Structure 1
Amino acid sequence: MSETTPQPKATTSKSAQPVKAASKDKSAAAASGTGADTKGKSAKDLKKEKRAAAVAARSGDAGAGQSQGGETSGAGQKDKGARDGQGKGSGSSAKQAGKGTSSTSASAPTAGNATANLRLQTQNQLFSHLPTYKLPDSAEALISGKIHPIIIRYGILIASGQIRGVNARTIGLMAAFKEVIKGFSCPPEELHRLLPAHLSPMIAFLDQCRPKGVAGGNAIRHLKSEINRIGTDKRITEEAEQKDLILNAIDEFVRDRIELADEVICTTAVEKIKPGDTIVTFARSSLVERVLLEAWASMQEEDASNKFNVVVVDSRPLCEGKQLLSVLTSHGIPTTYTILSSLASILPRTSLVLLGTAALLSDGALYSRAGTAVLAMLAKESKIPVVACCETYKFGDKIVLDAVTGNELGDASMLAVGKDANLSPVHLLYDLTPPNLVTAVCTEVGLIPPSSVPTVITKGDAAGL
């Protein structure tokens, strides 16, 4: 027993030593080779480095398998060599992968910014065709010598919003042109040609300040037609007489198409307001304001015990309804003020919706302050009559299918939404109300359906209006 026991030890030791040595050499060679490749070829492809690390791992595993019966220290040495080879290869691979990851993360913000910039450009291009809020360069206009100072003053007032509302802007426009015509001088036979040419750069200047819209365009066309008619009349040979006739034509337009028209509209609209009614209106319309005041005054004369109430619906950023609220409450009219988002809770107890207009298009669509279409839509669903108050000089012969093709951009800074490179604030001033949402249009020619706009325009052209 004592002699037999050492023999297997000696045999096992002799047979295991060459395998252990070979295994060590292979593992060391693989580990050192992989490490040398990783250090000397740091710029090589990541795939080759992973392959070298895998070879080193397989070599270490083979040595460990062959030396299963060997000493624990030899197996530990082999495992250490395999781990060294794997660690070096994997470390280099991780380092390269880390470099790739860091470069990708560095380029990611650039790609994100490019996407954000593209989205911002797309948003801007969607409304880039619309006129923008712009204060005129009065110094440049004065230096050019083509713009009258009264036109520059008027342009600043409409661009800054100090003159707001279609009627107020049209009256101011015609008053400014009166001053320009008074100071213009030319031979009588040249008036119909030289005066429109004199006014053209001023009209273009005002368009840069604020678009004239349908009503302003109709007023300017009427003025030019009167200039042409008077200038080509051979019976009028004096310049002063020609000017007087043109100035009188301007006064007649303001009186007949705006002031007298408003009186007739008020008389017709007041008849639709009954004691106990609750009337809803949106933002501020000078004509609707006048209708409400006259209706309240007429009920006071009749000593009606149950008078009407008014609900003023408003929206940001202009909040024009606050001015209407101040006027109505100062006259003692019971008034409720709310914002557009609360409209659904107000309509169930409403009797009538009165709306102002900026223009009425040829298909009967209502072009008015942004938010009007929402009010008209909800009123239609609640089966509440919607009446629009509009003078016929605001009727347009064009058809607009949406509020993006033709609109006007307000001052976006009034939205107060903060500053962000990816944010593009847009302040659209008007929206388009389809004709099927409007019950009737109250004009100086009476209550008409929206579909009658082309007929009124045709008759007005035939009458020279």
Structure 2
Amino acid sequence: METLSAAADQLVSEFVGLSRQKPANGSRQVADRTLQLLRQLVAEPSWRQTSQLLGQLRAAGRRLSAEMPTEPAVGTLVCRLLKMARDEHEAKRRGQLSQEDSLHRRLTAGGPLDAAEDLSQEVAGLRADLLAALDELQTELDASADNIAREALGHIHADDVVLTAGHSRTVLEFLRRAARERAFHVIVAEGAPFCRGHEAARALAALPRVQVTVIAESAVFAMMARVNKVILGAQTVLADGGLRAACGTHALALAARFHSVPVIVCAPSYKLSPQFHRGDQQEGFQCQVSPEPVLSYAEGAVVGRARLSCPVYDYVPPELVTLFVTHTGGTSPWYIYRLLNEYYDQQDHEIVQGTSAAPAAADGREGGPLPSV
């Protein structure tokens, strides 16, 4: 039975409470907070066998994914730790067995060691090895933006016209790295109604080699004929190679395909999710926020007769994406499954695939705190 111990349950509850009281400033901060929680769960002394740890992690992953369905780093990092725990356990168990004993087991069992029996045994040093593996994962996350940015000169050339949308720290670092050596023009779609593209435009305008133009989403199709490439961030990279990205990204990608403009997506590894987009469960994929920025409550006469919807995300199918740039280099959308097989175990996919409807954001100046990007 996969349940949380009392101490682990308290740690998860505190994590969820902190996330609601102090929303993270970007998905990277969510990833850092999640890694800190995972360190606490691994260090928690209530588990002794690997099977007990896996059960607690899976229970924590299900709860966190249900509480925070629009934050990809939460569920995916839990799934990644589950695979790391199984791999570390198997490596240490095989290291403890002598070569003769291992061969005897293989011959008598007709295959590898029995997984259920293996995981129910204690393995010395597993806790310390997992904590060290989490430290290595933290180092990977710290270097991911820089490693992605190193690919910039291979994609952005002198006098290129690049189009981006909204505000993504990974994309900004990508463009900054290219601007060190090359002059180019960036067109920024403002991302109404929250207009976070203005933040990105201000940051890019400070670069001496970059010329910046801000446009409304309604002008994207007209401007696309002048664009050499589209560079975007993503909230989640899904298992089919599609994206969950800021609302308006789908229309932008369709315009890019019409004009035969390549679409490049910058995505750190913690945004790669084994989740699929399922049209019959769109509520679990989508998040609605207050439409007050679209139509102010001050317009009471109109608001009373209008039904307003303000979705945060779009689904962008894989056929509209040309290339993903991750910390390991460029990857086609059709090969995302290979990265997923490397990072996650298939038996853990249901942790992130089983999420239900996303909660609506609280009221606020911009419709409440937005899920991080």
TM-score (norm 1): 0.56
Query: Out of 20, 31, 43, which is 1:170 matched to?
Result: 31
1:33-85 CA distance string (max 9 Å, x none) = xxxxxxxxxxxxxxxxxxxxxxxxxxxxxxxxxxxxxxxxxxxxxxxxxxxxx
Cross-structure match for 2:249 = 372
Aligned counterparts of 2:51 and 2:232: Cα–Cα separation in 1: 39
d(CA) in 1 for partners of 2:343, 2:15: 31
Task: Answer yes or no: is 1:408 the counterpart of 2:267.
Answer: no
2:79 is matched with 221
Residues 424, 172 of structure 1: alpha-carbon distance in 2 compared, 3 angstrom cutoff: farther
Q: Helix, strand or coil for the counterpart of 1:441?
A: strand
- CA drift of 1:198 comes to 7.7
CA distance in 2, matches of 1:411, 1:244: 42
Which residue of the partner structure matches residue 27 of structure 1?
none
Residues in 2 aligned to 1:164 and 1:263: alpha-carbon distance in whole angstroms? 17
Q: Which residue of 2 aligns with 1:346?
A: 223
What amino acid maps onto 1:222 in structure 2?
Answer: R
CA distance in structure 2 between the partners assigned to 1:360 and 1:203 by the alignment: 19
Distance 1:385 1:198, change over 3 A: closer
**Structure with the largest fraction of helix:** 1
Code of the aligned partner of 1:353: V
- Candidates 174, 184, 189, aligned match of 1:308: 184
Q: Tell me which residue corresponds to 1:267.
A: 150
Mapped contact 1:279–1:311 kept (Cα < 8 A):
yes
CA distance in 1, matches of 2:283, 2:326: 27
Alpha-carbon contact 1:192-1:228 (below 8 Å) kept: no
Question: 1:324 & 1:195 partners in 2: Cα distance?
Answer: 41
> Which residue of 1 is the match for residue 333 of structure 2?
450
1:361 matched to 2:222? The reply is no
- Quick check: 1:170–1:216 contact (8 Å CA) kept in 2? yes
Of 31, 52, 61, the match for 1:193? 52
- In structure 1, the residue matched to 2:139 is 255
CA–CA distance in 2 between the matches of 1:193 and 1:328? 49
Q: CA deviation at 1:225?
A: 3.6
Corresponding position: 1:285 with 2:161: no
Contact 1:359 1:396 in 2 (8 A): yes
Unaligned runs of 5+ in 2: 1-6, 97-120, 346-373
Aligned residues: 305
Report the Cα offset of residue 163 of structure 1. 2.2
Alpha-carbon spacing, 1:231–1:443, altered in 2? closer, same or farther (3 Å): closer
**SS of the counterpart of 2:163?**
strand
Pick aligned residue for 1:245 from 122, 126, 129: 129
Q: Which has the higher contact order (CA 8 A, sep 6+)?
A: 2
- Segments of 4+ moved more than 6 angstroms: 234-239
Task: Assess, with a 3 A threshold, how the Cα gap between structure 1 residues 205 and 454 changes in structure 2: closer, same or farther.
Answer: closer
Give secondary structure in 2 for the equivalent of 1:346.
helix
Pairwise CA distance, 1:170 = 1.8
Preserved contact between residue 163 and residue 229 of structure 2 (Cα < 8 Å)? yes
Q: State the distance in 2 between where 1:260 and 1:426 align.
A: 38
Distance change (3 Å), C-alpha of 1:309 and 1:275:
same
CA gap 1:146/1:437 in 2 versus in 1, 3 angstroms:
closer
**Structure 1 pair 415/407, CA: closer, same or farther in 2 (3 Å)?**
farther
Name stretches of at least 5 consecutive residues in structure 1 with no aligned partner.
1-141, 300-306
CA distance in 1, matches of 2:37, 2:214: 36
When residues 190 and 237 of structure 1 are mapped into structure 2, their CA distance, relative to the original with a 3 A threshold, is closer
In structure 1, how many angstroms separate the alpha carbons of the residues matched to 2:261 and 2:331? 17
Within 5 A, what are the aligned runs for 1:111-130?
A: none
Asked which structure has the greater CA Rg, the reply is 1
Q: Which residue of 1 aligns with 2:368?
A: none
Query: Matched residues, percent identical?
Result: 19
| Counterpart-to-counterpart distance in 2, 1:454 and 1:149 | 33
TM-aligned CA deviation for residue 254 of structure 1 = 3.0
* Deviation per residue, 1:329-367 (Å, 9 max, x gap): 233332112221122332232121101122233332222
* Correspondence list, 1:10-409, <5 A: 145=10, 147=12, 149=14, 151-158=16-23, 162-165=24-27, 167-179=28-40, 181-182=42-43, 184-186=44-46, 189-190=48-49, 192-193=51-52, 196-197=55-56, 200=59, 204=63, 207-208=66-67, 210-227=68-85, 242-256=126-140, 258-299=141-182, 307-332=183-208, 333-400=210-277, 402=279, 404=282, 406-409=284-287
Query: What is the 5 A alignment of 1:410-429?
Result: 410-417=288-295, 418=297, 420-421=303-304, 423-429=306-312
Shift of residue 384, structure 1, vs aligned partner: 1.7
- TM-score in terms of structure 2 length: 0.69
DSSP 3-state at the match of 1:281 = strand
Q: 1:428 to 1:445 in 2, by over 3 A?
A: same
Query: Retained in 1: the 8 A contact 2:64–2:74?
Result: no
Is the contact between residue 193 and residue 293 of structure 2 (CA under 8 Å) also seen in structure 1? yes
Which residue in the other structure is 1:59 paired with?
Answer: none
Q: Structure 1 residues 244, 155: CA separation in 2 closer, same or farther (over 3 Å shift)?
A: farther
Q: Is the 1:270–1:292 contact (alpha carbons within 8 Å) kept by the matching residues of 2?
A: no
The aligned residue for residue 432 of structure 1 is 315
Residue in 2 aligned with 1:79? none
